[in-house]
Structure 1
Amino acid sequence: MRASLIQITVDEGESVESRRVRAASLVRQQAGADLVVLPELWTTGAFAYEEFGTEAEPLEGPTYEAMAKAASDAGVWLHAGSIPERDPDGPLYNTSLIFSPSGELVAAYRKIHRFGFDKGEAVLMGAGRDLVTVRLPGTTLGVATCYDLRFPELFRGLVDAGAETLVIPAGWPERRRAHWTLLAQARAVENQAFVLACGTAGTHAGVPQAGHSIVVDPWGEVLAEAGADEEILTVEFDPGKVATTREQFPALKDRVL
């Protein structure tokens, strides 16, 4: 399986619409990949709290339309990162969109763990409730977003639901980059799964981003890692390694809780 993680730059000097057009073009350039991943809140920036309300859109809004067309044009499975979703009957949500190669929206995940410690995202957005998995040819994706990475019980739930490849878009700050790498490897090792963690480059509302998107195999080996700037990280991996790893070292069978 070939996966391409688009570590796009999010800076204030580029309009949301311009970045949306550019992201769609970058997705189209990944024709030939099996799976393409964009980061969290790449339309606004994960720390641009004042933009959440003004740039929020319905689930089937302009980003949905652009990404559905891009996925179809490229013929790829697309995790289109997340958007600030405006629910007409509720609060804003940090919502990820996943498209099939035909451009069909096959899943949406509302981020469960909101970052901010009683400010920012934690008060501006509602919390999702549902775990989301998506079956692809050859593997099942388990979907999480950024701050979710710090909560291992969520990933246990995804594994129990059949996840073999954990996809984590993020807007992770540079000052905690060491945690990003450590936690991505930990989630891979403890769940004996691949981890595809896609971050952003640039600066969100004065907060420098970590970049360093990373792909980790079920043994915790880093297969590929990006730098700090905008980059497309492409890696080929064998999804069958999950079953082999779980057979060779059946730690998950020894779970008590």
Structure 2
Amino acid sequence: MRVSLIQLAVDAAESPDARRERAAGLVRAESGSDLVVLPEMWTTGAFACAGHLPDEAESPADGPTARLMSAAAREAGVWLHAGSIIEQAGADGLFNTSLVFDPSGRLVRTYRKIHLFGFDEGEAVLMSAGRDVVTAQLPETVIGLATCYDLRFPELFRALVDAGAETLVIPAGWPAARRAHWTLLARARAVEDQAYVLAVGTAGTNGGVEQAGHSIVVDPWGEVLAEAGPGEEILRADLDMARVSRTREEFPALRNRVLGR
């Protein structure tokens, strides 16, 4: 299974509309991949839009990002995790919502970020938290969906594995100041859940916060298969999906769980 992680640069010098068009072109260029993944809130930047979230909100069904990403997935013939957008959900408020399209361009899954970052500011107080554990069945694997700060909460990933996930997909807008945590936690989630981890972040600086970049692909044994640098980059890797079942059979730690069942 070939995967492409698009570590997109996000900064104020490029408008969201221009970045949408550019991202669509990058997705189309990955037509040889099975799964393409974009970062969290790449249209606006995770740190750049806190003061005007409602102005940037859009529909996951027919908003500008959804329309362009649907067309790009269809034209490339790929499964596309299009990162996340700011979703306006009427009386329910705003959500940090991820979109997954199949190769026909059909929106097949959405995931509303459960763990909101900021403690007593930012998205933690401006947005609503999702509640649902979400997976998607691809031909080669079942992917489990999480977003950025979710990476710090292993309970979510256990729930995803219990729901059948073999590949954990984590778009993010992770700051450079905590890059060591990003790599450590991505590897930890892979080891403890015996699953592939595809963690894709943004590059550049938005909202005055330098982004970590360093998107990473980790196998079920915790080995790093590919890692990007700090700048804009497309990270590609080939996954042997049989490695998930082999790892779980040869080292059956998941079967030995006592708590949480």
Q: TM above 0.5, one fold?
A: yes
Q: CA deviation at 1:51?
A: 3.7
Amino acid at match of 2:60: L
Percent identity, please.
70
Q: Which residue of 2 aligns with 1:42?
A: 42
SS of equivalent residue, structure 1 residue 9: coil
Q: What is the alpha-carbon distance in structure 1 between the residues aligned to residue 157 and residue 78 of structure 2?
A: 25
Q: CA deviation at 1:88?
A: 1.9
Q: Which residue of 1 aligns with 2:10?
A: 10
RMSD: 0.6
TM-score by length of 2: 0.98
Does the 8 Å contact 1:44/1:52 carry over to 2?
no
Q: Which residue of 1 aligns with 2:95?
A: 93
Q: What is the alpha-carbon distance in structure 2 between the residues aligned to residue 94 and residue 88 of structure 1?
A: 14
Higher mean displacement: 174-183 or 84-93? 84-93
Q: Which residue of 1 aligns with 2:173?
A: 171
SS of equivalent residue, structure 2 residue 98: strand
Residue of structure 2 aligned with 1:200, choices 185, 192, 202:
202
Q: Which residue of 2 aligns with 1:65?
A: 67
Q: CA deviation at 1:53?
A: 1.9
Q: What is the alpha-carbon distance in structure 1 between the residues aligned to residue 214 and residue 80 of structure 2?
A: 20
Residue of structure 1 aligned with 2:252, choices 246, 250, 253:
250
Confirm or deny that 1:28 pairs with 2:31: no
Q: CA deviation at 1:41?
A: 0.3
Offset from partner CA, 1:89-141 (integer Å, 9 cap, x none)? 32100000000000000000000000001100101110000000000112100
SS of equivalent residue, structure 1 residue 79: strand
Q: Which residue of 1 aligns with 2:157?
A: 155
Q: Kindly tell me: are residues 21 and 51 of structure 1, through their superposed partners in 2, closer, same or farther at Cα, counting changes over 3 Å?
A: farther
TM-score by length of 1: 0.99
Q: Which residue of 2 aligns with 1:136?
A: 138
Residue of structure 2 aligned with 1:225, choices 224, 227, 233:
227
Q: What is the alpha-carbon distance in structure 2 between the residues aligned to residue 15 and residue 134 of structure 1?
A: 31
Does the 8 Å contact 1:44/1:51 carry over to 2?
no
Q: How does 1:77-88 map to 2 (within 5 A)?
A: 77-88=79-90
Does the 8 Å contact 1:188/1:216 carry over to 2?
yes
Q: What is the alpha-carbon distance in structure 2 between the residues aligned to residue 52 and residue 167 of structure 1?
A: 24
Amino acid at match of 2:125: V
Offset from partner CA, 1:41-84 (integer Å, 9 cap, x none)? 00110111124221111222110000000000000000000000
Offset from partner CA, 1:169-226 (integer Å, 9 cap, x none)? 0000000000000000000000000000000001110000000000000000000000
Amino acid at match of 1:62: P
Any runs of at least 4 consecutive aligned residues in structure 1 with deviations exceeding 6 A, and if so which? Answer: none
Q: Which residue of 1 aligns with 2:57?
A: 56
Confirm or deny that 1:181 pairs with 2:173: no
Q: How does 1:118-137 map to 2 (within 5 A)?
A: 118-137=120-139
Q: CA deviation at 1:13?
A: 0.7
Number of aligned pairs?
Answer: 257
SS of equivalent residue, structure 1 residue 20: helix
Structure 1, gaps ≥5 residues long: none
Q: Which residue of 2 aligns with 1:190?
A: 192
Q: Which residue of 2 aligns with 1:74?
A: 76
Structure 2, gaps ≥5 residues long: none
Does the 8 Å contact 1:31/1:74 carry over to 2?
yes
Offset from partner CA, 1:212-256 (integer Å, 9 cap, x none)? 000000000000000000000011111110000000000000000
